[in-house]
Structure 1
């Protein structure tokens, strides 16, 4: 019975690999166009945001936290199925637990909390591809979601909260955005530069940053704010307008044009994909 249940559970998902849409889009370097959307949305779940606040170097060294977090998640997707990368990611979170301001307990490995973090990455793939590459068909969205179930199961965390199908995931996402997420201080900190500007990056001289920041900060604010769901924008108090929305949609539409996609597809692999994706495709 156990083997039958396991086979049935696996049959409801699709594999990751060179032919999968998750591989095609997740490591695409155009992903930078969506800004920090998944990271900010993750931290809008109060329990997850509190865990970052209590245990992470996010506030003292944001770049270090990003550099430490991205590689193991990428390797969970692009690494071999039996590499154990997903369970290593899970084990990083075993001691991330504590008390919420209201006295309730939180733990990063609570299935509802852990799945929300994964859901933001799934939605990241869907949003990026549909906004900056091509309008996805319903079948493509369902395929991406079915592949993402294989991805999630590599973590070895209970998949109890995982919706069965793409339509269920859509309903889950809408409920989280409408009723659950909040403007947690961690998320607010993550988008603070939209109104305050970026601090001077390490390695740049004050003069260099003084010359670059008037150009860089407005672009970063436009990409970040435009790339957030309207509900998140409202909760976080991010400035936006109908004029900016039209500009953002026009910006995205240019990237979706046949000419831009034709040119992008003919660039060398090393320019189109990050190193983790390149290694995955090379391994086959």
Structure 2
């Protein structure tokens, strides 16, 4: 079920470096505006959701799961071609395997499963930039996808499932959303706070959370639900009205506006970008 290969760039992909669109937007701190879109969509693939259910601390300590997961992903994107975390990320998943409820087997390194996780990150960049930064041209979409092929190959997992170009990626994405993903219990848990309220983080005192939660929970619900594809929102049973959709679109348009972008682009790198992106750009001597 696993197919490992040498992690190396190929001529059908675009460079993933300081001049790439992926670098420009993947580590942009405005990414928080899309909510947990990629994580929720990942867990809607039954095999991936089952792997999280069987092997992860996602349910008992969500913050710890994020702390372990986020740095290696960023260091795969923002590493160099010779020095990145790709194969280490792959090797974290070697023992994530087991049985599905129907008796079939799953393995995290199955190309079909592993690529879906990657695809949600690629779509994350596309959705974020087009929704909260600027309307993307088709050429920019093609470039981001070509860069993502370099990104995926850094993991050293078989690329036989890799769509050839952006058009094929869109077809793949639509097929997955229409007929493959399901409302797996892991995904349902991940969005449960939309209706039940976000659980108190372990590092926050009960008193502080009591004061913060009434403000934080509605905002988190708005960003989480609004940031999901309508099909996923429907499958997960998340409440969303036409009025909320109009509010979300106005909210997104505000962030895309020229004045807001002009202000954002003049802020210090420490505010605009994650620490991983900051370090990478500094290493390359480039300011986006």
Q: Is this a same-fold pair by TM over 0.5?
A: yes
**2:242 — aligned with what?**
242
Q: Which runs of 4+ in 1 moved over 3 A?
A: none
Are 2:164 and 1:164 aligned?
yes
**2:255 — aligned with what?**
255
Q: What are the Cα deviations for residues 43-69 of structure 1, in whole angstroms up to 9, with x where unaligned?
A: 000000000000000001000001100
Deviation at 1:200, TM superposition (A): 1.7
Q: Which has the higher helix share?
A: 1
CA contact (8 A) 2:78 2:84 kept: no
Q: What are the Cα deviations for residues 209-255 of structure 1, in whole angstroms up to 9, with x where unaligned?
A: 22211111100000000000000000100010100000000000000
CA contact (8 A) 2:133 2:256 kept: yes
**2:23 — aligned with what?**
23
> Please, which runs of 5 or more residues in structure 1 have no aligned partner?
1-5
Are 2:114 and 1:105 aligned?
no
Are 2:124 and 1:124 aligned?
yes
**2:280 — aligned with what?**
280
**1:152 — aligned with what?**
152
Are 2:265 and 1:265 aligned?
yes
| Rounded Cα–Cα distance in structure 2 between residues aligned with 1:117 and 1:205 | 34
| Rounded Cα–Cα distance in structure 2 between residues aligned with 1:74 and 1:165 | 23
**1:70 — aligned with what?**
70
**1:202 — aligned with what?**
202
SS in 2 for 1:261: helix
| Rounded Cα–Cα distance in structure 2 between residues aligned with 1:111 and 1:203 | 37
CA contact (8 A) 2:77 2:84 kept: no
| Rounded Cα–Cα distance in structure 2 between residues aligned with 1:230 and 1:282 | 39
Point out the more displaced range, 29-38 or 202-211: 202-211
Per the normalisation by structure 1, the TM-score is 0.96
**1:134 — aligned with what?**
134
SS in 2 for 1:11: coil
Q: What are the Cα deviations for residues 63-90 of structure 1, in whole angstroms up to 9, with x where unaligned?
A: 0001100100100000111114100000
> Please, which runs of 5 or more residues in structure 2 have no aligned partner?
1-5
SS in 2 for 1:98: strand
| Rounded Cα–Cα distance in structure 1 between residues aligned with 2:260 and 2:243 | 24
> How many pairs align?
277
User: Aligned Cα RMSD in Å?
Assistant: 1.0
**2:3 — aligned with what?**
none
Deviation at 1:159, TM superposition (A): 0.5
| Rounded Cα–Cα distance in structure 1 between residues aligned with 2:25 and 2:127 | 10
**2:178 — aligned with what?**
178
**2:36 — aligned with what?**
36
| Rounded Cα–Cα distance in structure 2 between residues aligned with 1:201 and 1:66 | 12
Per the normalisation by structure 2, the TM-score is 0.95
**1:3 — aligned with what?**
none
